Amino acid sequence: MTEVVVVTGYEVLAEVYEWLISDAKLPPAEFAASFDDVLNLLPSNAHVLDCSCGTGQLAVGLAGRGMQVVATDASEAMVRRTAELSEEFGASVRAVRANWEELPDHFQDNTFDMVFCVGNSLHHAAGATGRGAALESMSRLLRPGGRLVLTSRTWELVRARGSRLEISDRLVRRNGRDAVVVYRWEIARHWEEEHHIEIAIAQVDATGLVLVRSELLSCWPYRYEELEVELHRVGLQTELSTFDLEAENYMVVASKV
């Protein structure tokens, strides 16, 4: 027997999001440690914003290092789960529901030493206009000399592979339950058009019952060179980039001029 739940947004996936996080990054301390190179540039009590916090692993890991951490997400369910994880670890994290454009309504300009926008989240901003507005908000909140840390899929690779179905080749175990993760990609004809990703997590319990939680997400891909131009336009200068056309993902660290 299979039960299927389908909605749009991250409200359903928030409940099973840990199946999408790699084993290495599931513990908050390990997630934070994956950014050691950039975190070493900060004082231990730095003010940091994780503005696409998901279920809070990074934010909680940063707070565990003594940093002053704020976590935001457009999904109310993600913010709730971040608050729950913070309580579980005894971490001091302020969790706020806000999308990128709303950030200046919640925080003063020049507030943070570092802003994180990780987990391949920026593609959910609606096209070049939405992406520019998101980056502008993040830049405004950074102090002069502060840094934006952004991770992204290599969309040049994603689009080259076309529309497709990707089924993971192994079970992922979380909370004593196994699941198969499935991605269905709808690649539009042109870069600037709305694309879609449907993510499904099929959990199998001890009785053989399969529960599928699925969401159809909109995304607007971008080329790396476009991102570089957009960062410069909002007053950010790239200090580090791991972009490689052959790699699945990359990181950019850009400082506020």
DSSP assignment of 8-57, as one string?
A: ESSTTGGGGGGGGS-GGGSSHHHHHHTTHHHHTTS-TT-EEEETT-TTSH
Domain membership flag for residue 66: yes
Q: Are 150 and 198 in a shared domain?
A: no
Please measure the distance between the N-terminal and C-terminal CA atoms of the chain and give it in whole angstroms: 57
Which mean pLDDT values do the consecutive 10-residue runs of the chain (257 residues) have?
45 93 95 96 92 97 97 96 98 97 97 97 96 98 98 98 96 93 98 97 90 96 98 98 98 97
Domain membership flag for residue 26: yes
How many domains is the chain partitioned into structurally? 2
Q: What is the pLDDT of residue 207?
A: 87
Classify 63 as helix, strand or coil. helix
Q: Are 120 and 57 in a shared domain?
A: yes
- Cβ burial, residue 171 (10 Å; 0-12/13-18/19+): middle
Domain membership flag for residue 16: no
Q: Are 147 and 169 in a shared domain?
A: no
DSSP annotation of 100 reads: G
**Token representation of residue 231:** 């960062």
Domain membership flag for residue 106: yes
Alpha-carbon gap, residue 34 to 14, rounded angstroms: 22
Q: Are 243 and 184 in a shared domain?
A: no
Alpha-carbon gap, residue 125 to 97, rounded angstroms: 16
Q: Are 55 and 123 in a shared domain?
A: yes
Q: What is the pLDDT of residue 10?
A: 87
Alpha-carbon gap, residue 217 to 195, rounded angstroms: 8
Q: Are 137 and 232 in a shared domain?
A: yes
Domain membership flag for residue 7: no
Place of tokens 């952004």: 150
Strand partners for 197: 185, 217
Domain membership flag for residue 12: no
Q: Are 106 and 233 in a shared domain?
A: yes
Q: What is the pLDDT of residue 5?
A: 33
Alpha-carbon gap, residue 82 to 53, rounded angstroms: 7
Q: Are 92 and 208 in a shared domain?
A: no
Alpha-carbon gap, residue 122 to 131, rounded angstroms: 7
- Print the domain residue range for 113: 22-154+222-256
CATH code, domain with 34:
3.40.50.150
Are 97 and 79 contacting, i.e. CB atoms less than 8 angstroms apart? yes
How many CB atoms are closer than 10 A to CB 88? 11
Q: Are 91 and 207 in a shared domain?
A: no
> Which residues neighbour 36 within 8 Å (Cβ) at sequence distance 6 or greater?
none
Q: Are 57 and 177 in a shared domain?
A: no
Domain membership flag for residue 6: no
Q: Are 146 and 235 in a shared domain?
A: yes
Q: What is the pLDDT of residue 9?
A: 66
Are 61 and 88 contacting, i.e. CB atoms less than 8 angstroms apart? no
- Cβ burial, residue 90 (10 Å; 0-12/13-18/19+): exposed
CATH code, domain with 193:
2.20.25
Q: Are 115 and 168 in a shared domain?
A: no
Report the predicted TM-score, pTM, of the whole model to 2 decimal places. 0.94
Domain membership flag for residue 11: no
